[in-house]
Structure 1
Amino acid sequence: MNHSPEAWDHMQFKDVIVKVASVELYYKAVHFYLQEHPDLINDVLNVLALRLDHTRVVDIMRKADHLRLVKPYMVAVQSNNVSAVNEALNEIYVEEEDYDRLRESIDLHDNFDMIGLAQKIEKHELVEMRRVAAYIYKKAGRWKQSIALSKKDNLYKDAMETASQSGDRELAEELLVYFIEKGKKEYVVLELAWMNNLVDFAFPYLLQFIREYTSKVDELIKDKIEAQNEVKAKEKEEKDVMAQQNMYAQLLPLALPAPPMPGMGGPGVGGFVPPPQMGAMGMPPMPPFGMPPMGGY
């Protein structure tokens, strides 16, 4: 490290550093990589992970204002549930607005200042971050604070789940009264009350809702029946008109005179000339007296 331009090689350094007995050289190595080879610092930290005090490493990186630089290392060692690592990663997730990873970190690693984090993000501009704050309050048993945040962001399902987990009857009743007074949608009270075993609290409202709902359904059914009757009447009228038109089409040809048969018209009609009449012996009739016979006799 003292002669790095001539003597340093990363692969050789990793092989040697794990054999060093002096613990202080580990942290000197961390400073060395931070200053000269920051792109490789996570690699060397992972090699030394079993020998390092993770809190001390986080302090070094925090003072240097490079916490995010060693994020991969902290993720790799977070299973140790070290407070400094948990808080550093949670801080990074808040800065990156990565609420999914933040919530996962909270669920899996609880060794950190929960209330401090909740207070930090309860006024965050992202609703999902504020939702995480309400979730933290719930985990910490601060039921009223959690419900208050959920109501503020209209996260009614979260509020109902918190009231259910609290086991506080008074708190559950207050929440349901809030829903009714604010005129929230029926499914919020009915469906979520059922899902969270709070039907007993919602039963008076349930009866009122069923009565109103039944009246509305009756009116809708009546309107639908009337509409269907109108459609059927119109369809019947159209069918009657069509049947009458078909009947006229069938009777019209019968009311007209029949056309003459081919060849049955008078002379000059259709080119037909009747044949001459024959005598009793099959001879042509004699011409009138004084007229010469046909054929020139």
Structure 2
Amino acid sequence: MDMPRAVEWAELCDEAEVWSTLADAQCDRGFVVEGMNSYIKANNPTKYEKVIEACFKSGEHYEELINYLQMCRRLIKEQMVETELVYAFARTERLADLEDFINSPNLAKIQLVGDRCFDEKLYKAAKLLYINISNYGRLASTLVKLEDFHGAVEAARKANTTHTWKEVNHACIDFKEFRLAQIAGLHIIIQADELEELVQYYENRGHFEEVIQLLEAGLGLEQAHNGMFTTLGVLYSKYNVAKMMEHIKLYSSRINIPRLIRQAEYMHQWNELCYLYVLYEEFDNSIKVMIQHPIQSWSHTKFKDIVQKVATIENYYKSLQFYLEQHPLLVVDLLVVLTPRIDHSRVVMEMRKAQHLPLIKPYLHALQKTQEIGEELLTFFVENELKECFGACLYMCYDIIRPDVALELAWRFNIVDFAMPFLIQTFREYSTRISKLEDENQELKEIAQNEKK
């Protein structure tokens, strides 16, 4: 076809049928703009699908397409026509026309066009379209792309879905809008399944203080769960250990103690680990930590309180050995609290072996105030051939040892010489008491006789 002559003929005839025939030929041969103009002159809206497809393939000519589709819209009511008209407004950035069109009655698929615009990075147009249909989730995504983070937070508030909050939060973090990121983050951390992923997002980008502030702000929320308290404890352990102990004490009933035990052990935070073991009622482990890491975790008062609750008897003697090596002047104080729980004979034997028996003299004095214990101690000494200790015990425990028991043990084990000072003193005391009783009795008799006279 000779296209220029065909155009001249159509202009000469100026009939709709001729213009339509010319338009078909022009579109078929790739003359899309000329074809649309010919369809407009023919007032022919029937070939809109063909025209739209041709523009789509060429990726251009949307200004001319607007004119054509507006003509079509005047003559027919087709959803595709109005939908593509909206898209054409967006492609040509005629946003005022776009807004006027979508705010008036129409048949366009606004959601579909909005998604097309978003995918093609026509974010300003997509924003208008999502606002029109109140799709706040997609609106928030669009505003993030436009770096309108305040608007994105407000849109996310209206959408109120975890996915939207996460998207807004991540974008705010990436642009260091931490105040807005916290607003979004507070809606995420209350979801236990989302908490760890969010914390990792902050940590991977080095924003340690900001994620701590986020969780601190979240503890006061009505929806706060135990995972938040535990995770904050882990973050303190990693980045602000000075706050860890206070946090554990304040929220001991809300934290996952085993998880924090593993964290504190991994970070070598022995004082906190010791306290966590006590909370978990693993007193033996708490004592072991203080013995192995005394500089960071030991205190005498704390040790005494905990050692009374251990379940393994052997830990009593490990504690005693630890005190002998590290705090010998406090050994007696430790023995006082352990008195009802330990084998006193073993204590004496251990101290003698370590050549520290004089160190526990006050402890032995305290024990000797009980007759049964004192006599058991005598038996232990003679059975272990500790003759000097036998004699010393008789001297120190003179008030509570029965003479017959002392004499029997001395005779049975052939150590009467070591018991002799005790026996002499006993005989002397008994003799004095008898003499005193006789004198008192004589005085009473004399008083009675005088009264009879």
- TM-score normalised to structure 1 length: 0.52
Q: Deviations over 1:56-105 (max 9, x none)?
A: 1431340461462322111122462432x344323322233524x21233
AA aligned opposite 1:58: E
Query: What is the correspondence of 1:200-215 to structure 2 with a 5 Å cutoff?
Result: 200=340, 208-209=361-362
2:208 is the alignment partner of 1:62: no
Q: Please state how far the C-alpha of 1:139 moved relative to its aligned partner.
A: 2.5
Structure 2 SS opposite 1:146: helix
2:224 is the alignment partner of 1:102: no
Q: Please state how far the C-alpha of 1:150 moved relative to its aligned partner.
A: 0.5
Q: Indicate which of 215, 220, 235 corresponds to 1:74.
A: 215
Structure 2 SS opposite 1:19: helix
Rounded to whole Å, the distance in 1 between the matches of 2:162 and 2:319 is 60
Contact 1:49–1:77 (8 Å) recurs in 2: no
AA aligned opposite 1:164: Q
Structure 2 SS opposite 1:182: helix
Rounded to whole Å, the distance in 2 between the matches of 1:46 and 1:3 is 17
1:184 counterpart residue number? 327
1:260 counterpart residue number? none
AA aligned opposite 2:165: Y
Rounded to whole Å, the distance in 1 between the matches of 2:148 and 2:325 is 70
1:4/1:116 Cα in 2 relative to 1: closer, same or farther (>3 Å)? closer
Q: Deviations over 1:117-146 (max 9, x none)?
A: 24313xx3xxxx211122222333333322
AA aligned opposite 2:175: E
Q: How many residues align?
A: 198
2:41 counterpart residue number? none
Rounded to whole Å, the distance in 1 between the matches of 2:188 and 2:304 is 43
Structure 1 unaligned runs (5+)? 213-297
Flag the structure with more relative contact order, 1 or 2, with Cα contacts below 8 A and sequence separation at least 6: 1
Q: Deviations over 1:242-293 (max 9, x none)?
A: xxxxxxxxxxxxxxxxxxxxxxxxxxxxxxxxxxxxxxxxxxxxxxxxxxxx
**Which structure has the larger Rg?**
1
- TM-score normalised to structure 2 length: 0.36
Rounded to whole Å, the distance in 2 between the matches of 1:61 and 1:210 is 55
Rounded to whole Å, the distance in 1 between the matches of 2:162 and 2:240 is 36
Contact 2:169–2:184 (8 Å) recurs in 1: yes
1:165/1:44 Cα in 2 relative to 1: closer, same or farther (>3 Å)? same
2:263 counterpart residue number? 117
Contact 1:151–1:159 (8 Å) recurs in 2: no
1:36/1:187 Cα in 2 relative to 1: closer, same or farther (>3 Å)? same
Structure 2 SS opposite 1:2: helix
AA aligned opposite 1:135: Y
Name the % identity: 12
Rounded to whole Å, the distance in 2 between the matches of 1:87 and 1:169 is 30
Query: What is the correspondence of 1:42-53 to structure 2 with a 5 Å cutoff?
Result: 42-45=181-184, 48=187, 52-53=190-191
1:9/1:201 Cα in 2 relative to 1: closer, same or farther (>3 Å)? closer
